[in-house]
Amino acid sequence: MKDNLFGEDWEIEPAGGETGKAFVAVHEDEKFFLKRNSSPFLAALSVENIVPKLIWTRRVENGDVITAQKWIDDSQTLDAENMREPRVAKLLGRIHRSEHLRDMLGRIEKKDYSCVYLLDQVTTDIQTTSYNDALILEAQRYLAENMDTLEEARHVVCHGDVNHNNWLLSGEDSLYLVDWDGAMLADPANDVGVLLYQYVPFAEWKNWLAEYGQELTPAFYKRLKWFSICQVLMAMNWQYERGREPERLRLEQLLKKILRDNEVYATLCE
């Protein structure tokens, strides 16, 4: 990368992450966050100030596309407690309601992430791996038995992995949602459900959703539960294929929590 884009006086180091595609480039008082083959959707997100500013995009000799973003000094990722804050709900709501982002992603990503498609993906994952224990099969049955009664919402831009490590807070108190390689057009419950089940106590759901811009109704709750189960099953399979047993076990506990969840529904029926 240095030979193609920078002189010898630049220092380029891996930025961590699971894909090995991210780097930090430093020279005197200049510092960039670099990534190979990011989604072209990044430019639209930068304009909306949802990710740190995109500085440039360049194609190198081997065909890779390198993007450079502004480095955010004194930044930190959110912790689990921070995810309950109104600013998280408000930013996610702004993303989901953005017609501009929806239009831009629609030009790039043509796939329809409907509940039918997602259930088919989950079923394929289960059939093609040896990881199909009783809990997994119970979750698959729940999805199959409840899919036809879902009132699926209009598809919006969804991030697809809203865990706390992908939320970045700058030293100037600006909040960003980063790592958009899994962006998709789908029911917003794909993002909201997993976030709520992981980070927000049931007693705070209504207030959190009010900041997000959505009333907690029985129909919306059903979507939250259904799409959360889908997302967790796919994440568990991803971790299983890579031999990441501790993370798979953590997700297994989350799946149990979602499947056994009757507290929110009982509250809504009071």
Q: How many CB atoms lie within 10 A of CB 90?
A: 14
Predicted structure pTM score: 0.89
Tokens coding 230: 């889908």
- Can you spell out the DSSP letters for the chain? -HHHH--TT-EEEE---SSS-EEEEEETTEEEEEEES--TTHHHHHHTTSSSPEEEEEE-TTS-EEEEEE--TT-EE--TGGGGSHHHHHHHHHHHH-HHHHHHHHHH----B-HHHHHHHHHHHHHTSS---HHHHHHHHHHHHHGGG--PPPPEEE-S---GGGEEE-TTS-EEE---TT-EEE-THHHHHHHHHHHS-GGGHHHHHHHHT----HHHHHHHHHHHHHHHHHHHHHHHHTT-HHHHHHHHHHHHHHHT--HHHHHHT-
User: Token pair for residue 204?
Assistant: 């705070």
Of 45, 64, 20, nearest in space to 178 by CA: 45
User: Which residues partner with 176 through β-bridges?
Assistant: 168
pLDDT at position 205 is 95
**CA distance readout (Å), 6 to 1, 22, 38, 177, 245:** 8, 16, 19, 28, 39
Mean pLDDT, each 10-residue run in order, the chain (270 residues): 56 65 74 82 94 88 84 88 98 97 90 92 87 88 95 95 95 93 95 97 95 95 96 93 92 94 64
Q: CA-to-CA distance for 71 and 84, rounded, in angstroms?
A: 26
Q: What are phi and psi of 184, to 5 degrees?
A: -155, 160
Alpha-carbon torsion 21, 227, 248, 265, what sign?
positive
Residue tagged active-site, from 161, 173, 191, 261? 161
- d(C-alpha 226, C-alpha 218), whole Å: 12
- Residue 150 C-beta-side C-alpha neighbours within 13 Å: 23
Q: How far apart are CA 212 and CA 170, in angstroms?
A: 21
Query: What's the alpha-carbon Rg for the chain, to the nearest Å?
Result: 20
- 29 included as an active-site residue: no
Q: Would you say 183 and 239 are in contact if contact means Cβ atoms under 8 Å apart?
A: no
